[in-house]
Amino acid sequence: YPAPGDPALAAEIASLARSTHAGLDHEWGLDHGAWTVIRHMYPKANIPVLQLSIDYHQPGAFHYNLARELAALRRKGVLIIGSGNMVHNLRMVAFDKLDQPGFGYDWAVEMNEVFKSRITAGDHRALMDYTKLGPSAKLAVPTPDHYWPLLYILGLRKENEEAKFFNDHLVGGSLTMTSVRFG
């Protein structure tokens, strides 16, 4: 996906990130989590696209608070997308059931609903420390790299903004494509 970057915006992002060093890299390219989503929204690749790498060794509060530092970007009209999955366990995908719409393991269905209810209630603390939500949460999120983008979107949420869910589908038993939008 050959979208242009924006070095000036990248420098601004780096300056807003006060809690960590945000290095600038013009060679890395876009991860599949970015371009697979953006290419459907902007197929002509005619908008600048920047990607913030996720340090999955950091706790949830780190990601949430970093997003709060970046809130000025949203106020300026920068579209911010947190691309990932709330439920993302590739090791347990039922490949023989990929053609069964809505098939989900009990724990995947449960956690998709728990995550949505916590988002709707504005219970960001529980979502930052999702491992305390029980054994189903640990199955739903065996590694946090696909989950952390949600915390960026929650950290950018304005007070009293309603959560709008879309693409709320289970795939292969252990993945959800559930998306949430604010604003």
Q: Determine contact, residues 62/19, Cβ cutoff 8 Å.
A: yes
Average model confidence (pLDDT) for the chain?
Answer: 94
State the average pLDDT over residues 37-60.
94
What's the Cα-to-Cα distance from 86 to each of 67, 82, 178, 183, rounded to whole Å?
Answer: 17, 11, 7, 20
Considering only 21-35, 94-108, 164-178, which range has the smallest mean pLDDT?
A: 21-35
Confidence (pLDDT) at 175: 96
State the average pLDDT over residues 77-81.
94
Confidence class of residue 28 from pLDDT cuts 50, 70 and 90?
confident
Which residue is associated with the tokens 């697979």?
Answer: 36
User: For the chain, give me the number of helices (H) and strands (E)?
Assistant: 8, 4
In 10 A of CB 75, how many CB atoms?
9
Q: What is the 3-state secondary structure (H, E, C) of 132-181?
A: HHCHHHHHHCCCHHHCHHHHHHHHHCCCCCCCEEECCCEECECEECCEEE
Query: Residue 110 pLDDT > 90, yes or no?
Result: yes
Of 66, 27, 90, the residue nearest 156 (C-alpha)? 66
Full-model pTM: 0.92
Confidence (pLDDT) at 173: 98
Confidence (pLDDT) at 27: 85
